[in-house]
């Protein structure tokens, strides 16, 4: 009855005391904590995935293979070497005079990735390195599961990857390394990967008259091409290894042309050496 001060329990429902209620609440919380939310886990995985276009020369080699910080005076190389850097959108607008004053004499700039990404800082980086006096070139981050080698070579050439015989422009680079967005070898068999690289290299040569430089690590090359020796006679090698020596090279190459020896140098960008004196670097630019 309204105003009686007593609430009548509903039929079939037994009233429970406060201790039982508290126990139920804690049991429910424990269950929620112990059972991960599938949607939340999926969202977290998506957030951790790299953004398209964020890959740069050696970014995935560093992530997969690691390596110590190496300083220039600890490198085991021929006596005649030239220092240089490689940059991408991660570096933004680069202070090229600082890099020049630090002794760098060449630069490679990321131009493209796949067939839809262009480095938004390309003009400042590519022209800025040239204007300060460096010999410069550009590179393409390959996505062999995205489109054909020919399609990506054409996209590269059309968006900063061309070559001119001005004596200050290096041949373009195809960056072959671990897939930042999925399977290590992009879902390709070893023979299919070799065919893809050949398609890129042949198209680049047809468009520019130059043989593309191939950037890779010995580990990735062995895993994804079966350590193919198909390119050593034609395409210069840029090997990545963050140690005190370049180590064992991929099959087919008796020497490297460039060596990326550290990603944590004293100045901006990854650091590299050219395997020769300045006049040989100029000869490579001249073709």
- In tens, the pLDDT along 120-150 reads 999 999 999 999 999 999 999 999 999 999 9
Is position 22 within any domain?
Answer: no
User: In 3D, which of 177, 144, 152 has the Cα closest to residue 64?
Assistant: 177
* Tokens describing residue 19: 């201790």
Percent of the chain with pLDDT over 70: 71
Helices within the chain (DSSP H only):
18-34, 38-48, 59-65, 96-101, 122-131, 149-156, 190-208, 218-225, 278-286
48: in domain: no
Q: How many domains does the chain have?
A: 1
> For residue range 203-237, what is the model confidence (pLDDT) as tens digits?
999 999 999 999 999 999 999 999 999 999 999 99
Question: Any idea which residues carry the catalytic annotation?
Answer: 86, 175, 177
List C-alpha distances in Å: 105 to 35, 77, 98, 250: 57, 17, 12, 26
The pLDDT, as a whole number, for residue 268 is 76
247 part of a folded domain: yes
Classify residue 18: in a domain, yes or no. no
Mean pLDDT of 8-35: 39
Handedness of CA 220, 74, 92, 258 (dihedral sign): negative
User: Could you give the CA distance from residue 95 to residue 138 in angstroms, rounded to a whole number?
Assistant: 18
Q: What is the mean pLDDT of residues 172-199?
A: 97
Structure confidence at residue 270 (pLDDT) = 85
Query: Is residue 84 included in any domain, yes or no?
Result: yes
Query: How does residue 31 score in pLDDT terms, banded at 50, 70 and 90?
Result: very low
Whole-number Å distance between alpha carbons of 197 and 230: 10
- The answer to the question of residue 38 being in a domain is no
Average pLDDT, the chain: 81
Q: Which two tokens stand for residue 49?
A: 């995935």
Residue 26 inside a domain? The answer is no
Check residue 39 and give its pLDDT. Answer: 30
Q: Does residue 21 fall inside a structural domain?
A: no
Residue 50 is given by DSSP the state: P
- Look at residue 50 in the predicted model and tell me its pLDDT: 66
Full residue range of the structural domain in which residue 89 is found: 59-286
Are 132 and 90 spatial neighbours (Cβ–Cβ below 8 Å)? no
Residue carrying the six token digits 């395997």:
275
Say if residue 20's pLDDT is above 60.
Answer: no
pLDDT at residue 12 is higher than 70: no
The CATH number for 272's domain is 3.20.20.80
């Amino acid at each position: 009855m309204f105003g009686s001060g007593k609430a009548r329990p509903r039929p079939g429902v037994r009233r429970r005391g406060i201790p039982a209620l508290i126990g139920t609440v804690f049991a429910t919380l424990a269950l929620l904590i112990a059972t991960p939310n599938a949607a939340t886990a999926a969202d977290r995985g998506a957030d951790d995935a790299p953004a398209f276009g964020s890959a740069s020369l050696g970014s995935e080699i560093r992530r997969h293979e690691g390596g110590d910080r190496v300083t220039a005076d600890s490198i085991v190389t021929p006596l005649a070497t030239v220092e240089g850097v490689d940059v991408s959108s991660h570096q933004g607008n680069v202070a090229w005079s600082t890099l020049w004053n630090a002794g760098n004499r060449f630069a490679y700039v990321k131009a493209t990735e796949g067939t839809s990404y262009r480095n938004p800082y390309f003009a400042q980086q590519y022209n800025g390195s040239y204007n300060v006096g460096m010999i410069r070139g550009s590179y393409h981050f390959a996505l062999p599961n995205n489109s054909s080698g020919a399609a990506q070579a054409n996209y590269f050439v059309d968006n900063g990857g061309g070559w001119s015989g001005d004596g200050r422009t290096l041949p373009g680079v195809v960056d072959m390394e671990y897939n930042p967005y999925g399977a290590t070898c992009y879902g390709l068999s070893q023979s299919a990967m070799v065919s893809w690289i050949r398609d890129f290299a042949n198209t680049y040569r047809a468009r520019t008259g130059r043989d593309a430089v191939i950037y890779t690590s010995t580990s990735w090359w062995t895993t994804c091409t079966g350590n193919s020796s198909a390119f050593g006679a034609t395409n210069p090698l840029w090997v990545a290894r963050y140690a005190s020596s370049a180590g064992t090279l991929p099959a087919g190459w008796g020497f490297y042309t460039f060596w990326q020896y550290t990603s944590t140098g004293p100045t901006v960008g990854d650091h590299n050496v050219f395997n020769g004196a300045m006049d040989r670097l100029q000869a490579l630019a001249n073709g």
